[in-house]
Structure 1
Amino acid sequence: MSDPLVIGVDGGGTSTEAWLADAGGTVLGRGTAGPSNAKAVGDDRARRALSEAIDSARADAGIGDRPVAVACLGLAGFDRPDDRARLASWCEQGGWAGRLVPANDGDLVLAAGTPEGFGIALIAGTGSIAVGKAPGGRSARAGGWGPLIGDEGSAYSVALAGLRLVARRFDGRSDRPAEDSLTGGLCEALGVPSPGEIVSVLYGPAWDRARIAGLARIVVACADGDIEVRDHIFGPAAEELADLVVAVRESTGWDDAPNPPPLAVAGGFLLAAEGLRVEVLKLLGDWIGPVGLVEEPVAGAVMLARRALG
């Protein structure tokens, strides 16, 4: 009998990555696809992305379409009971694995970014969420409510705030500084000559949530030279992300522990926006312990799948 194989998947609002590994953790195949956050792109598109990433990983490993022993699927915005039931159905129909380990994207970051899998994970990519797990087994989450009622401090939230500020300045509802790099940068990224043309582009089919979130880097880059961006977008975004961590720390009972919890930080936006990340950590101060940056949460999915083998 051949050694058991596992698949780990990290799926979010921007992309999906799958790794196929052996029981010892050696990665044998990799696959990537588009976004698989069903709350953002819908069930059909999410399922297609998962299938594409997993099939690519299986092909890369040379195992054809045979199922592996365990698959850990860590998907943003897809961790409630009805979501997990749907995921189990997809796994069975797709022949992905004999056993499914559903996980929140924060679980992957905890597994990959903390020494023993205990602590707090803060993720800010297209969306935002914090999850935590204490050594005694107590767990909690904050955020992850999606773009309509949550995702504070995320790339999408920051990008929208920047676009709203540009609109206010164009209308005369906010003072426009002499050097308005925010307006210039966002108009250039959208391919329009002036803010008056933004609506015709932004509401078109090409600009989905993930692409709009990509504009956040321009907003963050303007924080140093634009007081309004710094005080009304950058600063509040850092505070919102810090609040997520504090809420999880209190809910998991870390306040009663002798040492503060380790913090694992992930998400393309927060990892790339160093200034924002530094500000979040400054706000947290002694509330958290060692900080680890997790660039590949999919490694945590592989780790959780391997633990399930035991």
Structure 2
Amino acid sequence: MMEPADLTQETAVLAQKEAQYSEDIRIGGVEGGATHSTLVILDGKGTRLTEVKGPHTNHWLLGMDETAARISAMIEKGKQDLGIPESVPLDCVGLSLSGCEEETTNHRLMETLVQKHPNSARDYVVSSDTLGSLRTGLESGGIVLIAGTGSNALLINPDGETHKCGGWGYIMGDEGGAYWIAHRACKYVFDDIDGLTEAPEPISYVWPAMRNYFNMSDRNSILPYFYANFDKSFIANFTKELATGCERDDPLCLKIFEEAACLLAKHIIALSKKAHNDLKLAHGGLKVICVGSVFESWKFMKNGFANEIHNRRVVDELSLLRLTTTSALGACYLAAEKINCPFIKPYDSNVEIFFHYNRDNFPETRTTELKNHTLVSDNVHVHGEST
């Protein structure tokens, strides 16, 4: 039998070897949205080594080969930054990408990378951008709500069961996302000028803003942007002009952002019905990680969001959180789990609460019916909000 002193020494030696081995591991994670992507590389202890920015990586828009080439180029840039030889692949890379919601196409992307770029990584984990965002900030489950160019929501219960809402693209879905907001504004203008349907508020700001942004003299001039030379990201960026309109108290811009907020709240309401009680009864209620540029205009959305949640009477308490770091870290965490590389993940420091709703503390509100029959509150109470 080994003496205690010998056992202690052997344990120390094994720990030292394990630590050395962990430091030699290189794990990558890619956050891929509809406009840009980010790669982060960690060592086996979870220490961030480098970060690389790149173009968007949605295979539905690019095709598998180009998507794989862009991912590989980012990985090779990261390896160069760290002095890793081109012939030495990373141990595993997690890919949390926009458009990666189907197992079949996810497997095709992984096969394309392995076959055409064998030196980039030994193994991959491919998942949606929603999963990467959720795993960056929540360990035991919750909801992630994405409202960037498009929109998407995903629930993960503590037992690993998943449910999604939205994420069907700009034709079949993406309600509340930047493209939807921009398109909504343009449609209001077109229908109002045609006399087909009167806009809910005057188009006096939005119509000139459209002409300026799209460099158009009349409505026909905008059609190539939506058809012949369609560019979803360029159209979605018009939302920034609408946010400026909100800053100037333009009623139509404010109305559109309120509508977007109500639709995003409906994503949460739909998924909350399938959430386990463990998530609903946790401190702070149901946790929702919110990702995307649309949430930068939260101050114009919170009343519409809070009223929709309150009036539907499905959610008793919830907390909205924003990531304080890139969701590429969540992709790294998934890759680390794939190769059984455990390290402490700082979930709490990866997020911060910016909105808290509690039905018991929500006062009775007086509602006013607008001419388009949407109810808005005259006195919305929100608390626990940080700037």
TM-score by length of 1: 0.87
Match of 2:109 in 1: 87
SS at 2:61 equivalent: helix
Larger radius of gyration: 2
Assess, with a 3 A threshold, how the Cα gap between structure 1 residues 143 and 287 changes in structure 2: closer, same or farther.
farther
Which has the higher mean CA deviation after the structures are superposed, 300-309 or 134-143? 300-309
Give identity over the alignment, percent: 25
In 2, Cα distance between equivalents of 1:218 and 1:6: 39
Alignment of 1:284-299 (within 5 A): 284=309, 287-294=316-323, 296-299=326-329
Q: Is residue 259–residue 304 contact of structure 2 (8 Å, CA) maintained in 1?
A: no
SS at 2:75 equivalent: helix
Where does the alignment leave 5 or more consecutive residues of structure 2 unmatched? 1-20, 343-387
Q: Is the counterpart of residue 182 in structure 1 residue 206 in structure 2?
A: yes
Name the count of aligned residue pairs: 306
Q: Is residue 30–residue 56 contact of structure 1 (8 Å, CA) maintained in 2?
A: no
Match of 1:301 in 2: 331
Deviation readout 1:168-201 (Å, 9 max, x if unpaired): 3443445587771111222212123444532255
Deviation readout 1:99-152 (Å, 9 max, x if unpaired): 2112221111111223x2411111111111111112232221111111121111
Report how far residue 161 of structure 1 moved.
1.0
The amino acid of 2:189's aligned partner reads: V
**Structure with larger RCO (C-alpha < 8 A, sep 6+):** 1
Residue 216 of structure 2: which of 192, 200, 205 is its match?
Answer: 192
SS at 2:270 equivalent: helix
The amino acid of 2:72's aligned partner reads: S
Q: Is residue 264–residue 305 contact of structure 2 (8 Å, CA) maintained in 1?
A: no
Report how far residue 166 of structure 1 moved.
2.4
Residue 235 of structure 2: which of 207, 212, 215 is its match?
Answer: 212
Q: What is the RMSD computed on CA atoms of the aligned residues?
A: 2.6
Report how far residue 228 of structure 1 moved.
4.0
Match of 1:39 in 2: 60
Q: Is residue 158–residue 276 contact of structure 2 (8 Å, CA) maintained in 1?
A: no
Match of 2:48 in 1: 27
TM-score by length of 2: 0.71
Match of 1:111 in 2: 135
Which has the higher mean CA deviation after the structures are superposed, 261-270 or 173-182? 173-182
Assess, with a 3 A threshold, how the Cα gap between structure 1 residues 243 and 92 changes in structure 2: closer, same or farther.
same
Q: Is residue 249–residue 255 contact of structure 1 (8 Å, CA) maintained in 2?
A: no
Assess, with a 3 A threshold, how the Cα gap between structure 1 residues 179 and 149 changes in structure 2: closer, same or farther.
closer
Assess, with a 3 A threshold, how the Cα gap between structure 1 residues 256 and 179 changes in structure 2: closer, same or farther.
closer
In 2, Cα distance between equivalents of 1:68 and 1:105: 21
Match of 1:101 in 2: 125
Assess, with a 3 A threshold, how the Cα gap between structure 1 residues 256 and 38 changes in structure 2: closer, same or farther.
closer
Segments ≥4 residues shifted beyond 6 Å: 176-179
Assess, with a 3 A threshold, how the Cα gap between structure 1 residues 24 and 287 changes in structure 2: closer, same or farther.
farther
Match of 1:151 in 2: 174
Where does the alignment leave 5 or more consecutive residues of structure 1 unmatched? none
In 1, Cα distance between equivalents of 2:53 and 2:167: 23
